[in-house]
Amino acid sequence: MDRHEEMTQRIARLEDRLGRLEDIEEIQRLQRMYGYYIDNRLWPEMAALFADEGAAMEIGRRGRYTGKEHILPFLREVLGQGRDGLARNEFINHMQLQGVVTVDHSRQRAQGRWRALIQGSPPPGGTAMLWAEGVYENTYVRENGVWKIALLWWVPTFYVSHPGYESVSFASGPQSDSLPPQAPSVPPVAALGRSFPPFHYCHPVTGEEVVRVTSEP
């Protein structure tokens, strides 16, 4: 093998390695955005993350829903109980940890494993917070050059209700009188009853800005 051929092969290996690292980063961003969307009950935005062909979703023992035309109704009607966005004083924290992403040799499909730790306020009229934990084992596919979710499969380890929701506060300590700030805090969103930092990024598939996270129009 001459030096030119050796360098050509080395460049090809480095390009493939860089491409795989870029794939992993894109898939990690995709999954993290999914977590923030489910936090805020953004069902259409979540459904848009799935592949147009052959997508499927299975959450716990609720069965597997296949096709985007069935995934969005499942999200909205089953998980969301017919409601988009958050109600006043409602919160959900969907923390995705220990992510491991493996891209196959074709760089057209990948697998991802994540551990989800979930906190949620009680349903209307309830007083107990929800705690849950479980594992995602997901499949991703590159569709028209964009990574999307082909299969989202979450297996819960546990669900538990915890009393004491009345003690939850949506604010930190008050403004200091002895060392006042140079400007006041950003005011809370009235429909949420708490502050909400807007998303700085657009949807990774649609490219649209996500601006509304409340149930109120």
The tens digit of pLDDT for each residue in 120-166 reads: 988 767 788 889 999 999 999 999 999 999 999 999 999 998 886 66
* Domain CATH for 63: 3.10.450.50
The answer to whether residue 209 is domain-embedded is no
- In angstroms, the Cα distances linking 214 to 61, 107, 179, 188, 190 are 28, 37, 34, 13, 10
The answer to whether residue 79 is domain-embedded is yes
The answer to whether residue 145 is domain-embedded is yes
Whole-number pLDDT of residue 116: 96
Residue 194 carries which side chain, given as an amino acid letter?
Answer: R
pTM over 0.75? The answer is yes
More confident residue, 96 or 193: 96
Residue with tokens 């949620």: 120
Whole-number pLDDT of residue 78: 94
The answer to whether residue 214 is domain-embedded is no
CA-CA-CA-CA torsion sign (28, 210, 205, 90): positive
The answer to whether residue 108 is domain-embedded is yes
The answer to whether residue 205 is domain-embedded is no
What is the band of 217 on the pLDDT scale with cuts at 50, 70, 90?
low
**Count of domains forming the chain:** 1
Enclosing domain of residue 106: 3-166
The answer to whether residue 175 is domain-embedded is no
